[in-house]
Structures are given as C-alpha cells and as structure tokens.
Structure 1
Amino acid sequence: MLAQGSIVNACAIIGGALLGMIIKGRLSERFGVIIKQALGLSTVIIGLSGTLSSIFKVSYDGKLESNYIMTMIIFLVIGSVIGEAINIEEKLNRLAEFIQKKIPGSGSNFSAGFVSATLLFCVGAMAIVGSLEEGLTGNANTLYAKSILDCISSIIFSATMGIGVLFSSVAVFLYQGSITLLAEFIEPMLTAEVINQMSLVGNVLILGIGINLLEIRSIKVANMLPAIIIPIVYYLIRIWIG
C-alpha cells in the first residue's frame, strides 16, 4: 500500500490525541502548565542535541570538527525570508481558526496545539528520511517507529493544548505521504550531504518550537519551513554551475 507508514503515523497521532483529551479533562490547570513546560524543555533538548550532532563530528585523529554552520545560517535566512513573504504562520493560524469555528467547544488553545504539533511532527529527520525510505524501498519501519514516538507526544500535547493536536494528523499524512510518492523523482538530488543539511535545519526548527512552548520568545517557526528544502536548491545550483 502506498504511504502506509504515513497512514499508520496519522492514526497513531489521532489515537494519542484522543487519549490525551480524556486525560485533559482530569488535569487541573497547574498540572497542565508544568507538563507543558516539561514538554518544552524536552523539545529544546531534542532540537539542541540533533543540531549539535549534525554540526560536530569527531575526525579520525580524534579532533572535533564542525560542518555546515555557514550553509545552515544561509539556508535559515533565505528560507525565513521566503516563508515570511508567503506568511506561512498566518495561513496555518487562519486554517486552524477556520477548523476551530466548525468545532464547538474546541477551546482557545486549538490554533497553538495544531500549529505546534504539526511543526514538531513534520520537521524532524525521521519524517523526511522515513518517508523517503518507504518511497524508495517500500520499508516503512522508520515511520512505524516515529508513529510510536508521535503517539506518546500527541498524548502529552493534547492533554495540555487540546483537540487541535488531533488535526495535525492530516498535515502529517499529506506531508509525509507526498514525500513518499515523490521519492523516486527526487532521489538523485538527495545525497547524504543534502539529507544531513535538511536534518540540521529541521533540528534547529525543533529547537525553536521548544522555545515557543516555554514561552521564552515567540519565534515564527512556520515561516522558517522553506529553509528545509533550500539544501536541495543549493545542490541543484552547484550542479548547474558545475
């Protein structure tokens, strides 16, 4: 079945979100706050560890070497400018508000839950690599493993941020399913270097999501999403220049 991994992933998010909604009704506000803070800290650590592991490598002589720092900055800046011009964040929020109006009693946190969960579930390396792996080899094991992690995360997210998390499953299915279906066509562009750079940018965005969850500062992570595909464009330009 095409995009079976993405289907399982979306169902796992729905199941986790529904369970989280049951828990939400039994949580007092102060417990919801501390759980959200714990989730924010965990997200920061995941993003930070992924970023550092992508940048720093130990060479054969035991020295610590850094990679992709300048290109990461360039990708993030260019991607952010494109995303800001399109205003992806506003469009996502408008979509969330539209859905919220159709669901009575969905709560004021609907938009925050939808956007935060959608970004977290989509920008990680497992979403990209797993979808490509299924499209190229038919092996969806990476997405199955991601489904378990996303299910757990969706329980916690929906327990603190409401039913908006459930609707992120649609975005995850469309995003990952599209990559799976297009994998055969974009395979020649996806060298190990390109995938590493895409994963690096994704981890930086995960770090931004964690900062948002902790309410340290409001970062327009959604407007930075185009940065994830800039490494592919950069690779094509290098090939064209020769």
Structure 2
Amino acid sequence: MIGVLANSGAVFILSLIGVYVGQRISDKVQTQVMTALALCASIMGIQMGMKADQFIVVILSMALGTGIGAALDIDGGLARFGEKIDKRFEKAGTENGGPMTAAIQASLLFCVGAMAIVGSLQAGVSGNNDTLLIKSVLDGLTALVMAAALGIGVGFSALPLFIYQGTMVLFAHAIAPYISDALVADLTSAGGIMVFAIGLGLMDIKKVPVANMLPTFVVVIIARAIMGMFM
C-alpha cells in the first residue's frame, strides 16, 4: 500500500501548495518538468516490458486484447463519461464550480486511467510500487496546477483515489498466491508496454488510446491458463 499512500498523499499535499503558490509557477517550468517525468515513465515501461516470461504470449495478448478494447471503444467510453460530467458541472453552477465539483473532476482524472489500474495490479501482485510512485509525482504536479485554478476541492480527491486504488491493490494481493511467476512476468510486461504508451502521450509524441489495451490483462490470464492445461 506504499504506492497508494504516496499517490493520495502527493495529491493532497501538492493541492494545498497549489492553492497558495501554484499560480507563481510558470507554464515553461511545468511543461519541462512534466516532460522529464514522462521520459522516466517511458524508460520504466521499457524495463517492465522486457520482463516477459514468454514474449509471444504478450504480443498475441496485446493484439487480441487491444482489438477487443477497440471494438468495445473503452477509451472513447471513458472520454465521453468525463465530458458528460464536465457538461453537467458547467450547467450546474459557476465557471469553475465549488469544492465538490473540483473534487469530483480531479477524482475522475486521477482514478479513470490505465496507469491507476496497471500500477495497482503491479503493486498488489508483485509488491512493485514503481508505477504508482511515478503516478504519484505526475498526479501531484497535476493537482498543484488544478488547485491553483479550482481551489482546495482538488485535495479532497485524495480520499476516493486512496479507496479506489487501495481496493484494487488488496484484491490483486489476495489472488497473488494463485498466480504463477510466469503469469506475473507476462502481466508485468503487458503493463510496461502500456506505461510506455502513456509516456509517449504525455510527451505529445503519439496519443495512444491506452484504455483500449486493458483487456490484454484478461487475455494474458486466459492464455496462461490454457497453456497450463497442456504443459
């Protein structure tokens, strides 16, 4: 749970800082810091991606899982959900809304994303918090900027973020004893490819609909189960 605590703590603390000093940080500084963090995320994704036990399983699972996700339009569905929330807030009140509006908007931003799922599964199954720690810095800096514009309500999003990611970590930890080392390696590799794709998006190199890749995890598990029946 170290990664979950770090993530929610970073959001809360940097939101407080953002309320008082966020507007004094130039856009140039914010952009360059985010680029540096995106580079780190990409390199970490490469390291994770190379840990596959059977890379052919990862390749086939990525292809099939992404195809399923694209057919279901998971990424588009999440985007439309976020747009509906934004429009509802725009109709409901002021330009930026109140503290609860800011809290819900920030919660959606920090919780609805591939990195939250990948990081939580990684932490729960293997005890590796690297992805969540990188996400902590990214979310913290984002919270700082948002709090400067929307107020202290952004900091309130730390609670639903903690509950959401904490629940996934505990669930992943509960099923970890029933997961083989080979499966963990292949899941880690698939997650690493997604983290790398997120890094590309953060650097505006290539916007990848990473959420469409999430079914890959299910496909990897099924593929490994089938292999176990014949090996």
TM-score over 0.5 for the pair = yes
- Counterpart for residue 74 of structure 2: 88
Structure 2 unaligned regions, length at least 5: none
Q: What is the rounded CA distance, in whole Å, between the counterparts of 1:76 and 1:29 in structure 2?
A: 36
Question: Alpha carbons of 1:132 and 1:37: their partners in 2 closer, same or farther (altered >3 Å)?
Answer: closer
Kindly report which structure 2 residues correspond to 1:1-242, keeping only aligned pairs within 5 A, or say none: 8=5, 11-16=8-13, 18-19=15-16, 21-22=18-19, 23-52=21-50, 54-55=51-52, 67-101=53-87, 102=89, 104-105=95-96, 114=109, 118-124=113-119, 127-132=120-125, 150-159=135-144, 170=160, 173-174=163-164, 176-178=166-168, 180-181=170-171, 183-184=173-174, 187-188=177-178, 190-240=179-229
Question: Alpha carbons of 1:87 and 1:171: their partners in 2 closer, same or farther (altered >3 Å)?
Answer: farther
Cα deviation for residue 33 of structure 1 reads 2.0
Q: Deviations over 1:55-86 (max 9, x none)?
A: 4xxxxxxxxxxx52211211110110111122
RMSD: 3.7
- Counterpart for residue 138 of structure 1: none
Contact 1:16 1:154 in 2 (8 A): no
My pick for the range that moved more, 146-155 or 196-205, is: 146-155
My pick for the range that moved more, 175-184 or 199-208, is: 175-184
Contact 2:42 2:197 in 1 (8 A): yes
Question: Alpha carbons of 1:15 and 1:142: their partners in 2 closer, same or farther (altered >3 Å)?
Answer: farther
Count of aligned pairs between the two proteins: 213
Structure 1 unaligned regions, length at least 5: 56-66, 134-140
User: Which amino acid is the alignment partner of residue 105 of structure 1?
Assistant: N
Cα deviation for residue 142 of structure 1 reads 6.1
Q: What fraction of aligned residue pairs are identical, expressed as a percent? A: 16
Alignment TM-score, normalising by the size of structure 2: 0.72
Q: Comparing both structures, which one devotes a greater share of its residues to helix?
A: 2
Question: Alpha carbons of 1:19 and 1:205: their partners in 2 closer, same or farther (altered >3 Å)?
Answer: farther
